[in-house]
Amino acid sequence: MSYCLLMRARTFTESARRAQIVTSAIEVIADVGYAKASFSRIAKHAGLSSTGMISYHFAGKEDLVAACVAEIDTVLRAYMEPRIEAAVGHVAQLRAYVESNVAMVGVHPAEVKALIDLVRNAGTQSASVNARLDLFEEHFRTGQEAGVFRPFDTRTVALVFASGLDAVVVTAAADLPEPDELTRLGRELADLYVRATAPDPLGGQA
C-alpha cells in the first residue's frame, strides 16, 4: 500500500473514531447530563479501552462539547431546513418551523435533550440559538412588508415566539410523547402563532 493510501486510511479511521466519540458524548449527556458526562463514562459508552482515546482527539471537555454542539446543529438543521424550504410564503414557513421543531423531539431525542442540557448547564449556545432571534425578527419584518403579518414590534414577538417554542420543546423532550401527540402539539402551537400574527384579528391570512 502506498504512503498516500496509508494516510487516507488513517485519516478515515481517525475521523470515524472522532465521530464515534462525539455521538457517544451526545448520548451520555442526553442520558445523565453534562455534569456527569465524564470522559470515563463516555469512553465506556463508546466501547473504548481508555479515556486516552478521547484525549487524543479532543483537547479537553470544552473542546468535546464544542464538537457535540456542532454535530447537533448539523443534525437538527438537516431535519428542519428541507421542511421549511419546501413551505411557500411567510405564514407557511412560520408554521413549518414550529411544527418541524416540535416533531424533531421525537426524531432526534438524544440531540435535543443534550442541547437543552448543554445550554442550561455548560453555558453553551449553538450557532442556531445565537442567530435565530435575528432570523425570526427579519422573517416577521419582511412578512409585515408583504402584508401577511399585522403591525407589531418584531423584536418583542421574536422573543415571545422563541421562548414559547422553547418551553414546548423542553417539556416534550422531558416527557417524550408519542409522534401523534408531538404532531398535535406542533400544529396547535403553530396555529397560535399564525393567529397572533395574522392581519385579521380572527386569524385570516393574506
- Return all residues near 170 (Cβ < 8 A) that are at least 6 apart: 116
Q: What is the pTM of this model?
A: 0.84
Assess contact for 113 and 173: CB atoms under 8 A: yes
Query: What pLDDT was estimated at residue 4?
Result: 53
Between CA 123 and CA 2 the distance in angstroms is: 46
Between CA 81 and CA 77 the distance in angstroms is: 5
For 92, the grid coordinates are 407557511
Query: What pLDDT was estimated at residue 125?
Result: 59
- Among 200, 202, 194, 195, which residue's Cα sits nearest to residue 89? 194
SS3 call for 108 = coil
Query: What pLDDT was estimated at residue 96?
Result: 97
Between CA 133 and CA 159 the distance in angstroms is: 7
Between CA 125 and CA 112 the distance in angstroms is: 13
Task: Kindly list the distances between the CA atom of residue 186 and the CA atoms of 111, 134, 182, in Å, as whole numbers in the listed order.
Answer: 18, 22, 6
Residues of the chain with pLDDT below 50 are: 3, 5-7, 9, 127, 203-206
Query: What pLDDT was estimated at residue 38?
Result: 93
Helices (H) and strands (E) in the chain, counts: 9, 0
For 119, the grid coordinates are 445550554
Q: Which domains does the chain show, CATH number per domain?
A: 3-197 (1.10.357.10)
